[in-house]
Amino acid sequence: MSNVTSVINPATEATIAETPIQGVDEVDAAVARSLGAGPAWRAMAPADRARLMRRFAAQVEEHGEELAQLETANVGKAIGESRDEVGMVAEVLYFYAGAVDKHRGATVPVAGGVDMTFHEPLGVVAAIVPWNFPIAITSWKVGPALATGNTIIVKPAEITPLTALRLADLALDAGIPEGVLQVVTGKGSVIGTRLSEHPDVAKVAFTGSTEVGREVMARASGTIKRVTLELGGKSASVIFANADLERAAAATPGGVFANAGQDCCARSRVLVQRPVFERYLGLLADAVDAWTVGDPTDPAIKMGPMVTEAHRKVVAGYLAEGMGEPGGGPVPTHTSGRVPDGPGFWFPPTVVAPAGVDWRMDREEIFGPVVAVIPFEDEEEAVRLANDTPYGLSGTIWTRDGARSLRMARAVQAGNLSVNSNSSVRVQTSFGGMKQSGFGRELGLEALASYSDVKNVFVSTDG
Ligand code: NAP
Ligand code: MG
């Protein structure tokens, strides 16, 4: 068995790097280094820790184009998206650098003394990261973990390790001490499991599938590790008849085909109120035509390939003969775009309409550029359909009725909702799931809480 992973560019199918397949011994050594680096990192003056994090952010900015090109070469995502995501990484590091000396405790009015709270670091944090947003999601965990005084070990997805590895180099170049931020490479089934159960790992910050998240949570229970889980989604866009239909249709491709649909927040179900259903489909067809597929390094291109050939096949399976109506009818493909010839794991942006609410494609996270468009009658049915999934991550409400938008936003069970927008993720605001999309919040000031424990100290003032 080879002891390296060949890292493939999904747009060209060329091997672009080889990375070590590390094992349990290497993970254990990394955890020992992380433990060793902890005390000095925690003891550093907050202003100094913040300064190192700002230098790290500046390194990311300085190497922004290199990191964006690397992410596009490894994941196949459109270069414009990679540039935005790398830009966000720098913003995340600046944001949490600013939080280092602002994550304050409280004094609490009690009888007989003075009571105060401290936010104590947890220790060694393991970050387990998926392949769809490798560098962005790495930063969402690294930022708050380092700001609160933890050390961190990142385990990127086996197929997309390159930007996390480069990020660790840049941290060292910025002066962040050895052992504070490390990356281990290899297979989730070996090193991900080891990190999830290692007695000296205090917390696992996991982003990935619900299936693996369940396993991580079980393993972490052995030593009562803190766990945050950012898992899958099956989010809905709900379009009411009184919405700005042109705007909603023009925004639909970006809400579901961004990152080639390999996005936990993809609005892969579009619910459209019946009176505007046909008109919406006409507008959507034009928008899909403009969603060009091809060489992801070309800034004019909207969408690159699927991450692997195996994943392309999984996505295609949802559209195969017999996947429609129960009983085996065809899937009514309404429109689909064009893809390049030649090498690359291409898949066209595809609209299925009208889709049935009980089909596999409407129940499972496809994680590809496929959207199911489904009609609904009224607000009550819209809420019922939007919530009829084990997931609860994201979603959009399109309406010009302000009161309705607020009623819907409260009624839809999802951690992140937008009104008249597909925006899900911002540095300043919390991000995370309800139901089986996970728990814990990343980003915003909320993330600091899940990388620290509150310690309460009571000092008697009795003479
Ligand atoms: P995945 O198969 O669950 O893998 C995620 C990470 O876990 C990878 O680093 C993987 O390593 C590792 N892993 C695999 N098996 C493991 C195990 N038994 N124990 C510990 N770690 C293990 O997910 P994926 O296919 O990479 O990513 C797609 C999924 O991520 C989708 O479901 C998507 O919705 C979800 N996602 C969620 C969010 C969010 O914030 N909610 C964001 C992005 C993606 P290997 O690569 O080596 O197998
Ligand atoms: Mg996987």
Give the residue whose CA is nearest to atom 10 of ligand 1. Answer: 188
For 91-126, how does the pLDDT look when each residue is reduced to its tens digit (9 = 90+)? 999 999 999 999 999 999 999 999 999 999 999 999
- Alpha carbons within 13 angstroms on the beta-carbon side of residue 357 total 14
Give the residue whose CA is nearest to atom 22 of ligand 1. Answer: 188
**Where is pLDDT greater, at 387 or 336?**
387
- On whether the CB atoms of residues 387 and 378 are closer than 8 A, the answer is no
For 246-294, how does the pLDDT look when each residue is reduced to its tens digit (9 = 90+)? 999 999 999 999 999 999 999 999 999 999 999 999 999 999 999 999 9
pLDDT at residue 452 greater than cutoff 70: yes
DSSP state of 303: B
Q: Residue 315 C-alpha to ligand 2 middle, in angstroms? A: 14
For 54-99, how does the pLDDT look when each residue is reduced to its tens digit (9 = 90+)? 999 999 999 999 999 999 999 999 999 999 999 999 999 999 999 9
In this structure, what token pair is assigned to residue 312? 């392309």
pLDDT at residue 323 greater than cutoff 80: no
Q: Encode burial over 152-189: b for 16+ CB neighbours within 10 A, e otherwise.
A: bbbbbbbbbbbbbbbbbebbeebebeebbbbbbbbebe
- Point out the catalytic residue in the list 91, 264, 265, 442: 264
For 142-191, how does the pLDDT look when each residue is reduced to its tens digit (9 = 90+)? 999 999 999 999 999 999 999 999 999 999 999 999 999 999 999 999 99
pLDDT at residue 438 greater than cutoff 90: yes
User: pLDDT-based confidence at 1, cuts 50/70/90?
Assistant: low
Give the residue whose CA is nearest to atom 15 of ligand 1. Answer: 188
SS3 311: helix
Ligand closest in space to the Cα of 207: 1
Mutate to test the pocket of ligand 1, among 264, 393, 425 (most ligand atoms within 8 A of CB): 264
Q: Residue 276 C-alpha to ligand 1 middle, in angstroms? A: 38
**H or E element in which residue 104 lies:** none
The mean pLDDT of 1-6, rounded to a whole number, is: 87
Atom of ligand 1 nearest to the CA of 437: 41
Q: Residue 361 C-alpha to ligand 2 middle, in angstroms? A: 19
Give the residue whose CA is nearest to atom 26 of ligand 1. Answer: 130
Strands 226-230 and 438-439: antiparallel
Indicate the average pLDDT of the chain: 96
Told to judge if 264 belongs to the known catalytic residues of this protein, a careful annotator would answer yes
Mutate to test the pocket of ligand 1, among 8, 128, 141, 446 (most ligand atoms within 8 A of CB): 128
Three-class SS of 197-247: HCCCCCEEEEECCHHHHHHHHHHHHHHCCEEEEECCCCCEEEECCCCCHHH
Give the residue whose CA is nearest to atom 42 of ligand 1. Answer: 264
- Point out the catalytic residue in the list 71, 81, 91, 230: 230
- Residue bearing tokens 């899909």: 288
Told to judge if 380 belongs to the known catalytic residues of this protein, a careful annotator would answer no
**Ligand 1 binding site (Cβ under 6 Å of any ligand atom):** 128-133, 137, 155, 157-158, 187-189, 192-193, 196, 207-209, 212, 215-216, 230-233, 264, 365, 367, 393, 433, 437-438
- On whether the CB atoms of residues 203 and 38 are closer than 8 A, the answer is no
Give the per-residue pLDDT at 334: 72
Ligand closest in space to the Cα of 156: 1
Q: What percent of the chain has pLDDT over 70?
A: 99
Domains of the chain: 4-231+437-460 (3.40.605.10), 236-426 (3.40.309.10)
Q: Residue 447 C-alpha to ligand 2 middle, in angstroms? A: 25
Ligand closest in space to the Cα of 160: 1
Give the per-residue pLDDT at 337: 74
Pairwise CA distance, residues 311 & 131, whole Å: 12
Q: Residue 436 C-alpha to ligand 1 middle, in angstroms? A: 14
Mutate to test the pocket of ligand 1, among 207, 230, 424 (most ligand atoms within 8 A of CB): 207
The mean pLDDT of 8-19, rounded to a whole number, is: 98
In this structure, what token pair is assigned to residue 163? 């930007």
- On whether the CB atoms of residues 238 and 395 are closer than 8 A, the answer is yes
Q: Residue 351 C-alpha to ligand 1 middle, in angstroms? A: 26
In this structure, what token pair is assigned to residue 179? 């052992």
Q: Which of 385, 395, 387 has its CA nearest to residue 435?
A: 387
Q: Residue 310 C-alpha to ligand 1 middle, in angstroms? A: 15
DSSP assignments along 16-76, one per residue: EEEEE---HHHHHHHHHHHHHHHHHHHHS-HHHHHHHHHHHHHHHHHTHHHHHHHHHHHH-
In this structure, what token pair is assigned to residue 446? 């909320």
Ligand closest in space to the Cα of 437: 1
In this structure, what token pair is assigned to residue 165? 């590895």
The mean pLDDT of 192-217, rounded to a whole number, is: 98
**Radius of gyration of the chain from Cα atoms?**
23
Give the residue whose CA is nearest to atom 34 of ligand 1. Answer: 232
Atom of ligand 1 nearest to the CA of 219: 19
Ligand closest in space to the Cα of 201: 1
Position 355: which residue type? A
pLDDT at residue 321 greater than cutoff 90: no
Strands 113-121 and 452-460: antiparallel
pLDDT at residue 463 greater than cutoff 90: no
Q: Residue 35 C-alpha to ligand 1 middle, in angstroms? A: 25
| Strand ranges in 257-359 using DSSP code E only, listed in sequence order | 269-273, 333-336, 350-352
Give the residue whose CA is nearest to atom 48 of ligand 1. Answer: 188
